[in-house]
Structure 1
Amino acid sequence: MGRFETLDYEAGEDGVAWVTLDRPEVHNAFDARMMRELRTLWRELREDDAVRVVVLTGAGERAFCTGVDRGALGDPELRIGTRGGTPLHFDDPGDWISPKTAGDLWKPVVAAVNGMACGGAFYLLGQVEFIIAAEHATFFDPHTSYGMAAVFESMAMLQRMPLGEVMRMQLMGAHERLSARRAHEIGLVQEVVPASELREAAGRVAATIASQPPLAVQATLRAVWYAQELGYRQALEVAKTLVQVGNDPQSLAEGQASFASGARTPWRLR
């Protein structure tokens, strides 16, 4: 894995890779370099079979990510809009940072949110599998307060939050923030823990997922996303292929042998 200036990358022996947005001096906001490095990293992770699960977090305790670095908005690479002579060539720099859009990465990504998550952070959170948040984490989108339409971010959050909650968060702009507790109540966040326990909690679930047969995990992941994005009948057609692809004979045999032996997996109540 290459070296990065705006990201901290750590791969463990348990199949879990840790990706940390590492610009704490600007609340881990992304500039053009971070965008390029994220796109490179997501695509490299596709090729690394030793990595089965990714945990995504931010450096420090104040912020996970606050979107685009406003101090870097003069950079042409960060300009959202049309290119060339017609409105049909539209660029959105957010396409460079999301694991599925930018990297076509279909390994599980778990977000560990350690502070503010706002604006362009939703490009990232919209494409993770689930979110674990520290108790002090907050979620908000200031776009409308500064005269900007919250479009891509709103669409991403509508995949994870009820309509009324998305409307309220996006239209209230910088005037209101969603607490970790409220985010958990509405299903945006799946677990809330003290800040001191965030890494342990994220690492525990990531390591558990990574310990299971990767083909079955990745096919399950794809099935859920297909069902979210396609019509139900369309998703069922894709499901027939996913069942054939995701049921690896060796893993099935090992699982059957384990069950037949009487061994049962220790479980934890959440």
Structure 2
Amino acid sequence: MSTYETLKYEEHGPVAWVTLQRPEVHNAFDLTMMQELHSCWRELRDNDDVRVVVLTGSGDEAFCTGLDRDAAHVGAPGLLNDIGQRGATPFHHNEPDDLLPPKTAADLWKPVIAAVNGMACGGAFYLLGEAEFIIAADHATFFDPHTTFGMAAVMEPMMMLQRMPIGEIMRLSLMGSHERMTAQRAYEVGLVQEIVPAERLHEAAQRAAEIIASQPPLAVQATVRAIWYAQELGYRQALDVGRTLVMLGTDQESLAEGQRAFRSGRRIGWRPR
């Protein structure tokens, strides 16, 4: 894997940890971070040693606070000129979703678990919107400041609507900086799947990632793709595609091994959630 200026990349067996590494600005992204994340997602597609990815932010104050507003002011090199309208009409436009989301921007279908360790707001939703599931520290908060600063909240709530009820994302988007969704409320509405004390966030994310990584990657990735198809397509269309995914995502050797394990009487120790 490449070395990065704005990311910390680590591999722990089959689990890769990608840490947003700009704590001085609450892990807000500049053009370099966007480009490096895109490069990281693309390289992870080719790295067969990695089966699951955990995405988090450095420090304990913020996961990510979206676009670095200081990097976007007039005269800042790169970012302002790269995002927004291209050419004379509004029909050619660059957005952070060209680079940030692991699926839309990079076609990565290995599971991505988000470990949210503080504030997550605005452009952070480009990342959370395409994670498989979210584990949050108990002090995490979620909000979208776009409207407060005179900007339309568009792409981010569209992506987050895939994982939370319309009334919740509508309120979160329209209340701007005046209200923050707590980790507990995010859990209640289904945005977050597990809440843990901050000191246990790494442990909880690593545990989930290791369990998923212990299972055949073909079956895991086909499952990820199938569920996202079901979100993106009509019901009947998704079922039609699903027939193909069943065949593509079932490895006969792995299936036989699973059958042998079942017949042997070995049972997996489980715990409730």
| TM more than 0.5 | yes
Matches within 5 A, 1:39-50: 39-50=38-49
CA distance in 1, matches of 2:21, 2:119: 14
Matches within 5 A, 1:1-270: 1-13=1-13, 15-73=14-72, 74-78=76-80, 79-270=82-273
CA distance in 2, matches of 1:152, 1:75: 24
Q: Deviations over 1:65-117 (max 9, x none)?
A: 00000110034434532212333211113321111122110000000000000
CA distance in 1, matches of 2:77, 2:158: 25
Q: Is the 8 A contact 2:119 2:142 kept in 1?
A: yes
CA distance in 2, matches of 1:184, 1:75: 39
State the percentage of identical aligned residues. 69
CA distance in 2, matches of 1:75, 1:89: 21
CA distance in 2, matches of 1:264, 1:236: 31
Q: Is the 8 A contact 1:77 1:93 kept in 2?
A: no
Matched letter for residue 57 of structure 2:
G
CA distance in 2, matches of 1:117, 1:268: 29
CA distance in 1, matches of 2:83, 2:175: 23
SS at match of 1:215: helix
Q: Deviations over 1:241-268 (max 9, x none)?
A: 1000001000001000000111111111
SS at match of 1:64: strand
**Could you tell me how far 1:154 is from its partner in structure 2?**
1.0
Residue ranges of structure 1 left out of the alignment (5+ in a row):
none
Matched letter for residue 264 of structure 2:
S
CA distance in 2, matches of 1:236, 1:205: 28
Q: Is the 8 A contact 2:114 2:131 kept in 1?
A: yes
Q: Is the 8 A contact 1:161 1:186 kept in 2?
A: yes
**Could you tell me how far 1:34 is from its partner in structure 2?**
0.3
CA distance in 1, matches of 2:43, 2:154: 29
Deviating more after overlay: 239-248 vs 84-93: 84-93
SS at match of 2:105: helix
Scaled by the length of structure 2, what TM-score is found? 0.97
The aligned length equals: 269
Matched letter for residue 214 of structure 1:
P
CA distance in 2, matches of 1:75, 1:193: 40
SS at match of 1:50: coil
Residue ranges of structure 2 left out of the alignment (5+ in a row):
none
**Could you tell me how far 1:12 is from its partner in structure 2?**
1.1
Q: Is the 8 A contact 2:6 2:32 kept in 1?
A: yes
Matched letter for residue 198 of structure 1:
L
What do you get for the CA RMSD once the two structures are aligned?
A: 0.9
Matched letter for residue 177 of structure 1:
R
Q: Is the 8 A contact 2:115 2:134 kept in 1?
A: yes
CA distance in 2, matches of 1:87, 1:117: 29
Q: Deviations over 1:133-161 (max 9, x none)?
A: 00000000000000000000110111111
CA distance in 2, matches of 1:220, 1:20: 25
Q: Is the 8 A contact 1:141 1:169 kept in 2?
A: yes
Q: Is the 8 A contact 2:71 2:79 kept in 1?
A: no
